[in-house]
Amino acid sequence: MSQANSMGAVALGREIARGNVDPVDLVAETLDAIANHPFGDRIYARTTPERAMAEATAARERARAGLRTGPLDGVPTSWKDLFDTAGTATEAGSKLLAGRVPDADAQVLQVATHAGTVCIGKTHMTELAFSGLGLNPSTASPPCINDHDAVSGGSSSGAATSVAFGLAAAAVGSDTGGSVRVPAAWNDLVGLKTTSGRLSLQGVVPLAARFDTVGPITRHVEDAAVLFATLAGVKAPDLRGADIAGRRFLVLNTIAMDDLSPQSDAGFESSVKRLRDAGAIIDHADIPQVADAMALSGVLYAPEAYGTWRDVIEDAPDKMFPPILTRFRGGRDFTAADYVKAWQDLDRLRAEFAAMTAGYDAVILPTVANLPPNADRLLNDPDYFTAENLLALRNTRIGNLMGGCALTLPTGVASTGIMFLTPHGDEMRLLRLGAAAEQVLT
């Protein structure tokens, strides 16, 4: 593990500003750590050494001149391999896109680069981002930080493990049904699902564009807040004085508490107790609209994903991992009328959910119901793959369906998280709330 990268992204930026860390030395150390790590090639699809050293050199000059462009100027950041990088392959974990080299950076990468972050490399991911497990025999399957025989969660698998193993100070992933939050939770990290449309998807390889979002995976809430603000090109939220006392939380009973692993249950319940002991007000409720929305998942996700990729997939289906191919093809038989009606129904359910939860600071639930499954068993047992994948994404998908933003924090029980859901566009308040909760939970 890179010792510098283990301290967190914002703390590392402060050390650069103080002159205690040289960005060039830091990037060289990080690249060396990746090259020599036993899981380096399972975490990174490719590093970008020339770009990283050039960006680090510029960051060093700005730091020496007192002209740093932001709190993450000079900080090594990894990027999921679906964010376009000019002149560097961006293949979205799929042999279907092998050799795809974009001419320009994704817009969020452009913004981050202008703010001084250093692109250290591209991380492995689930094929075309369509699974929550992180198993990808076509490229690589990063291991979980807590169990190297288990998957790390997906689809931002390498993004999370690049941070967990100390091979990046922060990571940028994407979340369509849980792809930031599942790997963050399974690797004891912080993960932010942003509101759909809050961050640009220009130059991001799509899965289901109406659900696709960009989000950070980090060690601390402060890091997530600053990286989010950096990507958005706005001022970071002020997290000072954040306090959990008097905050009102609603535990979602509907679906979210079913079939939890003992560890997931224990992590969530201990977190709720600590929040309550710190002065938070905790209520519980069933919200039937959640079940109704979950029933729409099949017609909302797979048809858009299949419609986006049908021609590419059917031109060479043998290049795909069969369970992922099956997931895509699950969307081919729905009609346009089915899809339009499902979105109309979801819009109504979202409004009703928002009205029912308006009196609370956040809805809370376990981030993931299950623990990271064994990679070999997933590879050899298609039924097990399907069951574990659906369970892994079940709770996180609630956040995507309800249309808000969501934050997962570690509970202190390995590979478990607690998730906070807040309304559409409410990232700044959510991050301040997360900072308050983090003080209680760590």
Residue 81 tokens, joined? 């391999």
Q: Are the C-beta atoms of residues 177 and 301 closer than 8 Å to each other?
A: yes
Is 196 labeled as catalytic in the residue annotation? no
Q: What is the mean pLDDT of the chain?
A: 97
pTM for the complete prediction?
0.98
Rounded Cα distance between 79 and 168, Å, is 10
Residue 2: the pLDDT is 60
Over residues 280-316, the pLDDT tens digits come to 999 999 999 999 999 999 999 999 999 999 999 999 9
Cα dihedral 67, 68, 69, 70 sign: negative
Q: pLDDT digit string (tens) for 158-192?
A: 999 999 999 999 999 999 999 999 999 999 999 99
CATH code of 5-232, in short, is 3.90.1300.10
> What pLDDT, on the 0 to 100 scale, is given for residue 30?
97
Q: Are 171 and 227 in contact (CB under 8 A)?
A: no
- Among 78, 138, 141, 155, the one annotated catalytic: 155
Per DSSP (E only), the strands in 20-117 are 44-47, 76-80
Of the CA atoms within 13 Å of residue 140, those in its CB half-sphere come to 20
365 in Cβ contact with 419 (< 8 Å): yes
Task: Check if the beta carbon of residue 42 is closer than 8 Å to that of residue 143.
Answer: yes
The predicted pLDDT at position 1 comes to: 57
Cβ(212)–Cβ(247) below 8 Å: no
Distance CA 409, CA 435 (A): 10
Identify the architecture of domain 248-296+323-441 in CATH. Answer: Alpha-Beta Complex (3.90)
Give the number of other CB atoms < 10 A from CB of residue 335: 10
d(CA 35, CA 49): 11
Q: What is the mean pLDDT of residues 207-227?
A: 98
Pairwise CA distance, residues 9 & 117, whole Å = 10
C-alpha–C-alpha distance, residues 107 and 113, integer Å: 10
pLDDT of residue 6: 76
Which phi-psi region, left, alpha or beta, contains residue 387 (left: φ > 0; alpha: ψ -120 to 50)? alpha
Is 341 in the active site? no
Q: Do domains 5-232 and 248-296+323-441 have the same CATH topology?
A: yes
State yes or no: cis peptide before 155, omega within 30 of 0: yes
Encode pLDDT of 55-106 as tens digits.
Answer: 999 999 999 999 999 999 999 999 999 999 999 999 999 999 999 999 999 9
Could you tell me how far CA 127 lies from the centroid of its own chain? 15
Active-site choice (80, 152, 156, 174): 80
- CA dist., res. 367 & res. 295, Å (int): 19
Spans of all domains in the chain: 5-232, 248-296+323-441
C-beta atoms surrounding 305 within 10 Å: 25
**Active-site annotation holder among 179, 264, 271, 297:** 179
Residue pLDDT, tens place only, 239-255: 999 999 999 999 999 99
Element of type H or E holding 178? none
Question: What's the pLDDT at 4?
Answer: 59
Residue 192, SS3 per DSSP: strand
Decide if 2 is catalytic: no
Give the model's pLDDT for residue 289: 98
pLDDT the model gives residue 200: 98
